[in-house]
Amino acid sequence: MPGLEKLLRGILRYHQGTKQEMVHQLNSFKANPKAVAMYFSCMDCRLQPSLITDTRPGDMFVVRNPGNLIPHARHCNLQESVTGEPAALELTCVKLEIRDVIVCGHSDCKAMEGLHNFKGQCSHDEGSPLGNWLKKYGGDSLEKFSQLTAENNYRGPLKFEGAAKKFDFEAFIDPQKKLSECDKLSQVNCLQQLTNISSYPFMKEKIIMNKVHLHAFWFDIHTGDVFMFSRPRKQFLEINEDTYDSLVSETQTASPA
Ligand SMILES: [Zn+2]
């Protein structure tokens, strides 16, 4: 069992090393945890949210699934059972008043490859939970992606509708023409999730009142670069020393989607 052995050895090192410091840290904010974000991420094993954001236990709530999808409200009957994603939004943004929600996708995403296959009307095994998940909840992303055509030079702008008219935004996808089809779909998918999040009435209210802000991140697996969508610039920008100040000021002045 080489896989499990690797994990158990890791737990031994944790036990001998960082455990005490972490327990001390967790106990210090036991009564008053101050998480700063709700973070939706793809579940890809190469993508580690706490690593690329340099965050610690207690800093973020994280939900991970194939393709970092948040089902649109029209797919969820709120009177009955729903998926975990809107429940996570209610827990963090309503109950705990978290103000920043991030959706993070990435390059070379296997879930986006699966979703992209539906573009050619490829059928999938009807009994496939993954196929059903992608087709049902990723359909809007695929539809938006199909709006990248020769007429707009395959870069847009694509229009995304937010919680209210004034929060609508536009996006140019890969204006430098560096990305693969699937990576472009992955970026479109990230932005579509902002629309999906704002489709829930309890989120729409928070967004309109400027109590919650929505952000899209994108991680390049091969370069390690992290990007953030800029509403004023209408495209993803790498987060680095040159862009940091402007990206921060945008989040303080721009309205959320
Ligand atoms: Zn992925």
CA of 87 to the centre of ligand 1 (A): 21
HEC per residue, 128-173: CHHHHHHHHHHHHHHHHHCCCCHHHCCCCCEEECCCCHHHCEEECC
The CATH H-level superfamily of 33-253 is Carbonic anhydrase (3.40.1050.10)
Q: What is the pLDDT of residues 14-73, one digit of tens each?
A: 999 999 988 988 888 776 778 999 999 999 999 999 999 999 889 999 999 999 999 999
Q: What is the pLDDT of residues 227-243, one digit of tens each?
A: 999 999 999 999 999 99
Q: What is the pLDDT of residue 253?
A: 61
CA of 65 to the centre of ligand 1 (A): 8
CA of 135 to the centre of ligand 1 (A): 15
Q: What is the pLDDT of residue 254?
A: 52
Q: What is the pLDDT of residues 182-227, one digit of tens each?
A: 999 999 999 999 999 999 999 999 999 999 999 999 999 999 999 9
CA of 148 to the centre of ligand 1 (A): 21
Q: What is the pLDDT of residue 241?
A: 95
CA of 42 to the centre of ligand 1 (A): 5
Structure letter (DSSP) for residue 213? E
The secondary structure of the chain in percent helix, strand, coil, rounded to multiples of 5, reads 45, 15, 40
User: Given CA atoms 137, 197, 203, 34 in this order, what sign does their dihedral have?
Assistant: positive
| Rounded Cα distance, 50 and 104, in Å | 12
Q: What is the pLDDT of residue 120?
A: 67
Residue 238, strand partner residues: 227
Buried b or exposed e, range 189-200, using 16+ CB within 10 angstroms:
bbbbbbbbbbbb
Q: Are 98 and 92 in contact (CB under 8 A)?
A: yes
Domain locations in the chain as residue ranges = 33-253
CA of 128 to the centre of ligand 1 (A): 17
Predicted confidence band of residue 127 (pLDDT cuts 50, 70, 90) = confident
121 has pLDDT over 70: no
CA of 182 to the centre of ligand 1 (A): 11
Q: What is the pLDDT of residue 257?
A: 47
CA of 110 to the centre of ligand 1 (A): 5
CA of 209 to the centre of ligand 1 (A): 32
Q: What is the pLDDT of residue 256?
A: 46
Beta-carbon contacts of 33 under 8 Å, excluding residues fewer than 6 positions away, are: 58
150 has pLDDT over 50: yes
